[in-house]
Amino acid sequence: MIEKVEILKLYKELGETPLECLKRFKESNLEYKDTKMTYLGRLDPMAEGLLMVLAGNTKDKEKYLGFDKTYEFEVLWGFGSDTYDMLGKVTSGKFPQRLENRIPNVLKNIGAKKTQEYPAYSSRTVSGKSLFMWARENKIEEIDIPERNIKIFSIEHIHTRAITGREILNEVSRRLALVSGDFRQKEIWSIWQNTLIARSNEIFLVSKFTADVSSGTYIRGLAHEMGKILKSSALAWSIKRTRVGEYKL
C-alpha cells in the first residue's frame, strides 16, 4: 500500500468516467490497489485527456484544486443538445452564416466572459440534489440554475473543417459505444439518427479551438454559448484537456 502523498498524471480515455479511469489505473498498477485516490477535477465521459489524481492522504485535496487548465476542443455548428455535447438529446438549429468571418467576434465575446451558468447536466447541487437529477426528472425549470465566476485567459481558433451527416452519425455511434452506465445512450442515438438520417450527404462544419481557462470552466458550456452569440446552435464535438496548472500531457 502506498502511504506517501503523490500527484499522478493519468490519461482519461474517451467514454470513461473519472472513477472508471481510476479503476483501470489500479488494475494495471497493483501497488496502488489499496491506496486511497481522488481525482483533482472532473472530466465528462465525452472529454478525454489529463486527469490529475491525488494518491495517499487525500484529506488535503482542496489545496490542489483551483489550477487553471488548457483544452483543445471542437465545436459542431448548427446543432445543440441538452448536455451541450454529443452525449445529449440533439436538436437541429439554424446554421450560422459567414461563419469564418464571424469567429473573431465570437472569440472576443467568449474571452470577455466573467461568469458562467452551470450546465443542466452537471454535478452541481441545488437544494441537495444534483442538477443532472433535476434535469432527468424534467424539473430543471423549477429551480434557479447557479452561476460561477470564470476567467478565459486566452482562446484561439485553429481551423474549421467540413464533415458530412454520415460521418457525424458514424462518429456518434462509435463514441456512444465507449460509454458504460446509464447516460440515455439508446434514446440519444435514436434522436441523432432521426435528426441526420435524411441529411447523410449534407455538409456541416466543425471548428477547432484551444483555450486557457480558470478552474471550473465548462468547455461544453462555452461551445453552447458560442452558438448563442451567433444566434444559432452549437455543441462540443470533442474536448481534450492538455494541461492542469504546471502539469502537462
As a whole number of angstroms, the distance between CA 239 and CA 236 comes to: 7
Q: Based on the domain organization, do 23 and 75 belong to the same domain? A: no
Q: 104 and 21 in one domain?
A: no
pLDDT in tens, 51-63: 999 998 777 787 7
- Tell me, what's the pLDDT at 2? 46
Q: How confident is the model over 134-145, as a mean pLDDT?
A: 93
What is the reported pLDDT for 50?
A: 98
- Whether 249 maps to a domain, the answer reads no
Q: What is the spatial distance between Cα 217 and Cα 235, in angstroms, rounded to a whole number?
A: 15
Count of domains for the chain:
2
- For 27-39, how does the pLDDT look when each residue is reduced to its tens digit (9 = 90+)? 999 999 999 999 8
Is residue 83 domain-shared with residue 37, that is, in the same domain? Answer: no
Measured between alpha carbons, how far is 198 from 185 in angstroms, rounded to an integer?
21
Query: pLDDT tens, 83-138?
Result: 999 999 999 988 999 999 999 999 999 999 999 999 999 999 999 999 999 999 99
Domain annotation covers residue 167 = yes
Tell me the pTM.
0.94
pLDDT in tens, 168-178: 999 999 999 99
Q: What is the pLDDT of residue 5?
A: 82
108 located within any domain:
yes
**Do residue 106 and residue 202 come from a single domain?**
yes
Domain that holds residue 222: 69-114+150-244
| 128 domain residue, yes or no | no
* 121 in any annotated domain: no
| Euclidean distance between CA atoms 206 and 133, whole angstroms | 30
